[in-house]
A and B are shown apart, each in its own frame.
Chain A
Amino acid sequence: MENQKLGIWVGTEDLNNDPAFALEAEKEFKHDPATADNKEVDISLESNRRDFLKYLGFGIGAATIAACDTPVRRAIPYVTKPDAIVPGVATYYASSFVKGGDYCPVLVKTREGRPIKIEGNSLSSITGGGTSARAQASVLELYDTARLRGPLAANAEGKFGKTTWADLDAAVKGKLNAGSQIRIVTNTILSPTTKQALSDFTAAYPNAKVVTYDPVSASALLQANEANFGVKAVPNYKFDKADVIVAFNCDFLGTWISPIEYAKGYAKNRTITSISGAKMSRHYQVEGHMSMTGSNADNRILVKPSEQGVAIAALLSALGGGGSARGLNDKAAAQIKAMAADLQAHRGHSIVVSGSNNKSEQIMINKINNLLGNYGNTISFTGASNQRQGIDKEVQDLIVEMNSGRVDALFVMGANPAFDIPNAAKFVEGAAQVGLKVSFAGLMDETTSLCNYIAPTNHFLESWGDVEPKKGYYSIIQPTINPLFDTREQEVSLLSWAGKNMGSSDQPYYEYIQQNWKNNIFSQQTSYATFQSFWDNVVHDGVFEAPAGAGASGFSDASVGAITQPIAGEGMEIAFYETVNMGAGNYATNPWLTEMPDPVTRTTWGNFLAVPVKWDGVRLFEGMNGLNTEEYRGKADIVSLDVKGMPQNVTVVKQFGLKEGTLALALGYGRSVVGEAGKDVGVNVYPWLTTDADGNTQYFASAATVSGAIAEDGLFPCVQYHHTMGVKGLDKKTGEEINADEAATVDDNILARMLGMQGFQGSLTQRSIIRQGDVKEIEKFASDLVHEREHHQKLNSYTLYPDRSELYGAGHHWGMYVDLNGCIGCGACQVACVAENNVPVVGKREVARHHEMTWMRIDRYYYGDYENPNVVYQPMMCQHCDNAPCENVCPVAATNHSSEGLNQMTYNRCIGTRYCANNCPYKVRRFNWLDYTTADLFPSNEFEINGEEIPFGADNLTRMVLNPDVTVRSRGVIEKCSFCVQRIQEGKLTAKRENRKLVDSDVRSACQTACPTGAISFGDMNNPDAPISQKMKSALAYKVLEEINVQSSVHYSAKITNKNEALS
């Protein structure tokens, strides 16, 4: 048989296909080498050596590939480019931040359709482009994971389940009839169109009533103005026109009514522009606890909270307004007399304000301002503020009505009375009697959880709206993103329940607003002929200003009723105050704010009981009752605080500048029904508040008792332990005045006692960190400062560092200038920095371990008399030193210098030795201790922070807030302020594209734009015409730690006070 299969053969045997050969050939190439020879092999052993190797290879390969799985975050590119979006280029929309009475006109920066940053709107004459920490942080709320995702209806057990808008509308409408007693409970409403919608609603339901109150209220102020001027309004305070400012327990720079506006005016008159003939306003603060505003005052007069009324009376009487003031402490009485003389000397150029919520006290304040001729000069009713409209009594009346069963339906609109009023428990009882309860809240809260239906409203960045913060001043809220969830504007809900047809268009409320503007606001101007051009311009600019009067009559006297009476004796009194970060509790779910240190106590993640500090004359600033002895080691005591027989445990913080016998505790904390980020943060103080005869809430309590330490708080999230610089106290032995804080820096131990050490040659107080002087001696102060700087610069000229002036002298050299007189400590810059630069939130535990990541912080130092010190706030960020100590110690050159004088951080190169952070004299470098951002190499190693499943901000929703221009840093690398290098690049590109030289206004850092007082300037130091170059030449300008020759690029301007020596 011939082998014809292939036509190829090897030898004749093959060609003949010899059987013997075929057998041999079969053997030559074994088909299955392992089994071919060994057919009888045990069939259970199916794999052999090669299979084993195959399996092994596959197994290892598969395991390796599986282990290498890095987390994938998908980004989907645009298939069709939307009209308004250029990828990589930010789009700004004018809008307004509004929450209750808080207001800030803003520009919303959006990237690829996502709002990521809030900037101030400089077209507004109210804020001039300034912002607040709250406004800056508001963008994060848009992406809050706790937001309600659509309409909800409660079942019989009170559990909420999903529903549809149609079902909800039908259900609510079905329960209402024309005669229904409906109560709409709300905080201050600034929107004219919302008010229009409410009046349309009440037209449909004549028995509906709007109940307006404010958790931190100006109710008494409104009532007093009604009594004196016939108008229930907050007047227009012009702090820039006042030479003497007196504030009675009034935090007008931080939280009171319109702080951005007031801070702007206040700073204007306190900025030193020239040394010779320097002039600035004088600020007196009369208060019991150290408020943020009080910390900025030139003179503070300490009175207990209960002495507030008599202190005002004392001033009124000293100004010849009659009456008498008994019960005021002697020191304060004498100081008020001296202050009165100063006020008399500045008639018509002064402002007296009070945060009191007692109507008679506010009437006295009005009388004082009237006696001083301030109305018409520094205070007017033209452009009166709408920012507080609530009358406390209204909500109290509502509680009575509800408890008596006279209310059929309760609509909750942005208010949270089940938490933020003194008798919230009564409100909860009353609410149980109401058949229909609807909330418009976008987030679950104490009041919303009581409701039957939730019709969640949009976040302001998703909404249309309008604002009238002051009479005749309007601004627009426009959406910057489609609603993320199935929510709708509360006005749409109201109007559709009122029977208006809202279904015809995509944006029914937009049309409604336009209609309202056409009818009511268009007529207030003459610049635009057609409504459309008017509207387009207003939407573009965001603001429209046509100042109008409030219709106030002239001052007419009103009788002064009961004022707060001082409580005699030794009992403790406690002041409850609003903080810039927590508000009345409505900012509780915003971790950017929760983690922002309180400007005064420098604590985060909670409210801490401030106790007064006493100097023991040897080496201790003793906390009251010996509390918090070792605060400088991060150890804080927990005490039981009993007010009105309701004890609660609270952690203590030592506080300078508290009146002896006075405690202070922030309100708004301790929310119970709140998103994850707000849980277990602080204690709720509202139950401890009281109401006076007018129903007005009083923000203090007497007869507070504090136990001794009952436990030590393991987590004390305070970012600054050492508080003082140059605080003076009396030596116990000699009776002489000494640098108390120097002595207090000595640890109290055997060795120190043996050696009797009490400080060391001014080694603490003479540091060139803060500079403070008084305006009266400013010329000497300035020339001393100049001489000292010359001395430092002379020493610095003997340097080993190479002369780099040629390098840094050409092109740009970025620098910053911070005016310490302008800095009020409000923290807007800090939050702006967090937002701009993707700075992670780390949580309470990590802050307590000093792992906070803030690139910029505001250091707070007390100086002067230890009992009543002055305060310097010092924004501290990377100083971008030209001889940067961080740069030459990095073994891998991960941090280095740009030719424009920037100290830049290369995250990819950083191996995390932390040497740079150690060697930074300013301690501004931050290390990613743990995986705070989920940007790490391993996906599974997130250390549990505050019991969160994932780190704050790591959720895909929250990550939408990230700035795509800034790298998100991973674990194990150092980061720090970059002078907003992404903004510098953008500014340079803009100038280049426009083919012109770059000017300072092209590049504005995030902190600079956020600042309400303009304290921060940024620019090119090499440009002699740039504002920053001019400012640097000021005799008050200095560099922190100039003598160590790091050649920092940040200049500070000394803090100047205008103290009245007659008071000390």
Chain B
Amino acid sequence: MSAVVSPIREPLITGSKTYHDITEDICGPTERAPGLLWTIAMALSVAGLATFAFSVFWTVYFGIGTWDLNRTIGWGWDITNFVWWIGIGHAGTLISAILLLFRQKWRTGVNRAAEAMTIFAVICAGQFPLIHMGRIWLAFFIFPYPNTRGPLWVNFNSPLLWDVFAISTYFTVSILFWYTGLVPDFATMRDRSTGMRRKIYNFLSFGWTGSAKHWQRFESLSLILAGLATPLVLSVHTIVSFDFATSVIPGWHTTIFPPYFVAGAIFSGFAMVLTLMLIARKVLHLEDYITLEHIESMNKVILLTGSIVGTAYLTELFISWYSGYIYEQFAFFNRALGPYWWSYFGMMACNVLSPQIFWFKKYRRSIFVTFFMSIFINIGMWFERFVIIATTLARDYLPSSWSYYVPTWVEIGIFVGSMGLFFVLFLLFTRVAPVVAIAEVKSILKTSGDQYKGKNAMPHHHAHDDHGHH
């Protein structure tokens, strides 16, 4: 795991932590009664979840007609939310898989929470393709199960079917990856606990003893899963983008969508990781594990992906003009200057202009700026999906059918409620599992702990670092 670390790199663990300190700091929050902030957050989230449940009930009971979608705009907030949530999930997979392969040590501070976020975001995202169906009780039709109707198969040409496979695979691999990482940490928690709690964690840790064989298998499995998950980072959102790219609708039918969607997904995912981690490090006192160095690294990724997304936006505009294809031209003209111009404007401002602030190191390392930027980007990326979906559908080929769309309370309730669902899951997660990967952080302590490197480092530790892990 560890490799030689350049001495100019900032330490990733501060506070001269010992292995025991790390265990104490990270396991501690799950062993104490929840604080006031947690309780308030949980109450709000449960209220959100209730809103979600009620709005979904309303939709299923009365029909999709309780939304303001119409004959022209068949998808609105529903699929916007779906793509948004799926996109958010991508940061977790990127951090756990690609950064693992790239040996980025800073990932250890945030990967656990990011992976959890991925799983919860995919759970939220997965709700929407179901909810948006006119007849949800027949949702099982989308699976290719053996049947007596012919047999009647699903339509393998349909991108929606590809979605089914892409997302279920993604969810499975993400869960496995996350859980694999949790096994040694659960064992740590088991060792610290007694009674029922001990039994549960014992079960969850699969009898982990920390033997060398266990560690070796653990490392191998992590690597295999990282190898599996890496293409998923690229493929899942590529397939989601096929929902649009393979259609015939101008503004959807573009080949740029796969890379553009993947970049956008990572962009929004990192923004969401930041939003969550900035709060979590404060609330759970993890400042020594999620340092400014971590934040700066993530801001760099945001700057990169944001610029990719911005380039994609401009490329789209150029190509639509250059293609000479009038429907395409109109679609983009309409996005920018049609009745939904404000959403395009919001998207451009939040996604392209505002992240440019991260060219400055000062702002990259500013918690305040980072927090607001992360919110901006979440809003901007939501707008992006809204622009692509609703704005495009609102004015396509036949002007006679053009229309306009504003959501009803039900649609808003489902979206806001889905955040309730997400945060309920996330808050429960902070109570039952270590939010930072204990084992992984420990593995970099001697290469990135501030007592070993940086200006506070003790000489002894330096020597150890030089001759130690090879």
Contact = CB atoms under 8 A, between A and B. Distances in A.
B65 A929 contact: yes
Contact of A751 (B66, B153, B345, B397): B345
B392 to A, nearest CB: 9
B75 interface: yes
A889 B396 contact: no
Contacts of A852: 71
A973 B336 CA distance: 33
B196 to A, nearest CB: 29
B157 A763 contact: no
B403 A972 contact: no
Nearest to A921: B397
B191 to A, nearest CB: 43
B393 interface: yes
Contact of A930 (B65, B70, B74): B65
B158 A938 contact: no
Interface stretch (A159-167, A654-662, A718-726): A718-726
Nearest to A909: B141
Most buried by A among B63, B138, B336, B341: B63
B368 interface: no
Nearest to A761: B329
Contact of B337 (A755, A885, A921): A755
A745 B341 CA distance: 12
A919 B155 contact: no
Contact of B399 (A725, A921, A941): A725
Given A757-B337, A891-B142, A912-B134, A922 B327 contact: no
Contacts of A767: 326-327, 397, 399
Interface in B99-131: 129
Contact of A972 (B135, B155, B246, B401): B135
Contact of B329 (A760, A910, A911): A760
Nearest to B399: A722
A923 B401 contact: yes
B393 A918 contact: yes
A475 interface: no
A891 B337 contact: no
A915 B243 CA distance: 9
A596 interface: no
Contacts of B15: none
A764 interface: yes
B132 interface: yes
Contact of B158 (A764, A889, A936, A972): A889
A616 B285 CA distance: 62
Contacts of B400: 720, 722, 857, 859-861, 874, 876
B158 A915 contact: yes
A973 B135 contact: yes
A106 interface: no
Nearest to B330: A763
Given A769-B398, A889-B158, A634 B403 contact: yes
Given A634-B404, A891-B164, A941-B61, A747 B72 contact: no
Most buried by A among B141, B243, B321, B337: B337
Chain A interface, >50% SS class: loop
A632 B404 contact: yes
Contacts of A746: 337-338
Given A760-B333, A888-B158, A893-B155, A745 B248 contact: no
B152 interface: yes
A941 B399 CA distance: 34
A913 B133 contact: yes
A1044 interface: yes
Interface string A796-816: 000000000000000000000
B155 A941 contact: no
B296 interface: no
Contacts of A721: 402-404
A921 B327 CA distance: 11
A766 interface: yes
Given A893-B152, A911-B135, A971 B63 contact: yes
Contacts of A860: 400
Given A751-B336, A763-B329, A860-B400, A891 B75 contact: no
A751 B247 contact: no
Nearest to B345: A751
A1041 B397 CA distance: 8
Nearest to A888: B157
Interface in A750-795: 751-752, 755, 757, 760-764, 766-767, 769
B161 interface: yes
B360 interface: no
A890 interface: yes
A943 interface: yes
B248 A861 contact: no
B276 interface: no
Interface in A904-954: 909-915, 917-919, 921-923, 925-931, 936-938, 941, 943
Nearest to B62: A943
B248 A885 contact: yes
Contacts of B248: 885, 919, 921, 1044, 1046
Given A722-B402, A849-B68, A923-B396, A751 B137 contact: no
A764 B402 CA distance: 12
B63 A923 contact: no
A914 B134 contact: yes
Interface string A882-901: 00010011111100000000
A972 B141 CA distance: 14
B339 interface: yes
Contacts of B401: 720, 859, 923
Interface string B150-166: 00111101111100100
Which 8 A/B pairs are nearest by Cβ-Cβ distance? A912-B134, A972-B134, A929-B65, A850-B70, A930-B65, A914-B74, A763-B330, A859-B400
15 contacts: A720-B400, A722-B400, A751-B341, A760-B333, A763-B333, A767-B327, A861-B400, A890-B160, A911-B142, A912-B133, A915-B74, A922-B398, A923-B72, A923-B397, A971-B134
Interface of A: 632-634, 720-722, 724-725, 745-747, 749, 751-752, 755, 757, 760-764, 766-767, 769, 846, 849-852, 857, 859-861, 874, 876, 885, 888-893, 909-915, 917-919, 921-923, 925-931, 936-938, 941, 943, 971-974, 1040-1041, 1044, 1046
Given A634-B404, A929-B64, 14 more contacts: A725-B399, A746-B337, A761-B321, A763-B326, A850-B403, A889-B160, A891-B142, A914-B132, A918-B74, A921-B397, A927-B71, A927-B74, A928-B63, A971-B134
